[in-house]
């Protein structure tokens, strides 16, 4: 499980750093709700990713049917949590809804960005 914790740390910290830096830029130009929304969404995205990793041992070495039930239960539990920032953004104007939605996908965006960067770096290296 140590490898998983390292992965969570790597992408969690990358997502939070990116959200804070981007949010700070929005803060400087006066778009405070976008800044707050982005950071709020990202925090919940990281929390969701961490919880996903923590439930992994429960889903290994089980039959297909029990894996399905555990995965469904895990989704519903984590989604109750993910609903919090969206409800906050809809209810309170101090959080921008679209920034919260982008924040919620920040970990996935970091995963993809990291691998795409690696891919293009390797291609440039290979060409040189």
Partner 1 sequence: MEFYLQDWVPMASYIGAGLAMGFGAIGSAVGEGYTASEATVAISRNPKISDDILKMMLMGQAVAESASIFGLVIAMMLLFSKFPHQTWITVSVLLASGISMGLGAIGSGIGSGITAGSACKGLARQPGFKDSIQMNMLVGSSVAQTPAIFSLVTSLILIFSDFSSHPVSPTWAAILGAGFAAGFGAVGSGLGDGLVAGAACEGAARQPLAAKTTLSTMFLGMAVTETTAIYGLLVSFILIFREVPATDALAPAMALLAAGLCMGIGAIGPGIGEGFTARSAVTWIARNENHTADITRVMLVGQAVSESTGIYSLVIALVLIFVV
Q: Which residues of this protein are in contact with partner 1, per CB under 8 A?
A: 1-4, 7-8, 49, 52-53, 56, 59-62, 64, 67-68, 70-72, 74-76, 79, 82-83, 86-87, 90-91, 97, 101, 104-105, 107-108, 111-112, 115-116, 118-119
What is the closest distance, in whole angstroms, from the C-beta atom of residue 7 to partner 1 in the complex? 5
Pick the closer one to partner 1 by CB: 20 or 111.
111
CB atoms within 10 A of CB 127: 6
Residue 21 class from Cβ within 10 Å (0-12 exposed, 13-18 middle, 19+ buried)? exposed
Q: How far is the CB of 42 from partner 1 (least distance, A)?
A: 13
Alpha helices (runs of H) in 29-105, residue ranges in sequence order = 32-54, 56-59, 64-91, 97-104
């Amino acid at each position: 499980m140590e490898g998983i914790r390292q992965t969570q740390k790597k992408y969690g910290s990358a997502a939070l750093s990116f959200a804070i830096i981007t949010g700070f830029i929005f803060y400087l130009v006066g778009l405070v709700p976008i800044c707050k929304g982005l950071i709020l969404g990202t925090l919940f995205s990281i929390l969701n990713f961490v919880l996903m990793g923590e439930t992994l041992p429960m889903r290994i070495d089980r039959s297909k049917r029990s894996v399905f039930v555990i995965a469904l239960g895990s989704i519903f539990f984590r989604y109750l949590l993910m609903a919090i920032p969206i409800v906050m953004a809809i209810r309170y104007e101090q959080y921008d809804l679209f920034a919260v939605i982008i924040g919620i996908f920040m970990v996935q965006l970091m995963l993809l960005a990291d691998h795409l960067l690696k891919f293009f770096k390797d291609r440039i290296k290979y060409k040189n």
